[in-house]
Each structure stands twice: as structure tokens, then as C-alpha cells.
Structure 1
Amino acid sequence: MASNSRSSSWTFKQNKMFERALAVYDKDTPDRWHNVAKAVGGKSAEEVKRHYDILVEDLINIETGRVPLPNYKTFESNSRGINDFNTR
């Protein structure tokens, strides 16, 4: 399938609709990807299936430690009762 502007990016709203649709249409739902695409709007069944496959791959990479966690700043109290920001 040729790439087009519909598949090039997903809006925040489309991603939220995608997440909700995945919760409604589980793996045993007939025509799952067609239903998810219809719920998302502006995407084909093939595009939502590809988006799902990428999501699964990302989750596997995170769970297996292939993606490093970001250095979040934490808020801690030191011995003098003064709060410090530390980097994890």
C-alpha cells in the first residue's frame, strides 16, 4: 500500500480513540481492525493494525530494557529538612 498523509501521523485525539477502541474490541472481536479504524476515524484497518503492531513492539522493547528510562527529577528531603531535587 502506498504511503499517504493519513498514515503519516496520528493526532492526540486519534491515539486516545485508538486506545479506547482497543479496550472495546478485543482480540476475539470479528473484524477488530475495521471496528477500531471506524472508531478512530480517518484511518484504514491496515493503518490501525500497523499502529498496534508498533505499539506492541515498543512495549516489548521497554519491558526488556532495550529502551532506557529517562532521568526524572525527584523531590526529597535532606537531613536539615530542606527539600532537594535529585536526578534518578
Structure 2
Amino acid sequence: MAWTAEENKRFEKALSKYDKDTTDRWEKIANMVGGGKTVQDVKSHYKLLLEDVERIESGNFTFPNYRFLNRGAN
């Protein structure tokens, strides 16, 4: 199931609120994210986040080359 930008925001806020020592951490995070996300959904999403961070920190991630077009601006 895809994650919306709003769900990602709530996920990040929940991670900052509930650290690894929080009782029922994943249940609380899933509840805070909402949108029908389960404990397994948030754990899987967290695993992907850690993998992304690891790739970035190891230098194995290339940031996109964004091109901003200035259309009609003076």
C-alpha cells in the first residue's frame, strides 16, 4: 500500500515522539500515522527508511539532477 505525503509526515513525527524504549512503540506509531496502516506496515516503512539512510551515508545514492524551469517569470 502506497504512503501519502501526509502519512509520511505523521510517520516522521511519530518516530520522533516514540523512541525505541517506548512500550508498544509500533502500535503507537501505526495509530498516529492512521490511514489504516498496520504495525507491520510501519515496521516495513521504517526498514526502508533505514536502508535509504544507509545508502546515503555510504555514498551509494545519487541525488536527482532537478532542473527548475523559470516559465514566464521576469
The alignment's TM-score, normalised by the length of structure 1, stands at 0.70
For the pair shown, the structure with the greater C-alpha radius of gyration is 1
Indicate which of 4, 9, 29 corresponds to 2:2: 9
Unaligned runs of 5+ in 1: 1-7, 74-88
Letter in 2 for 1:62: I
Corresponding residue of 2:15: 22
1:54 paired to 2:57 = no
* Count of residues paired in the alignment: 66
Letter in 2 for 1:43: K
Greater helix fraction, Structure 1 or Structure 2: 2
Matches of 2:3 and 2:63 in 1, distance apart? 24
Matches of 1:69 and 1:16 in 2, distance apart? 21
Over the aligned positions, Cα root-mean-square deviation in angstroms equals 1.3
Matches of 1:69 and 1:49 in 2, distance apart? 25
How much does 1:71 deviate? 3.6
Q: What percent of counterpart residues are identical? A: 52
The alignment's TM-score, normalised by the length of structure 2, stands at 0.82
Unaligned runs of 5+ in 2: 68-74
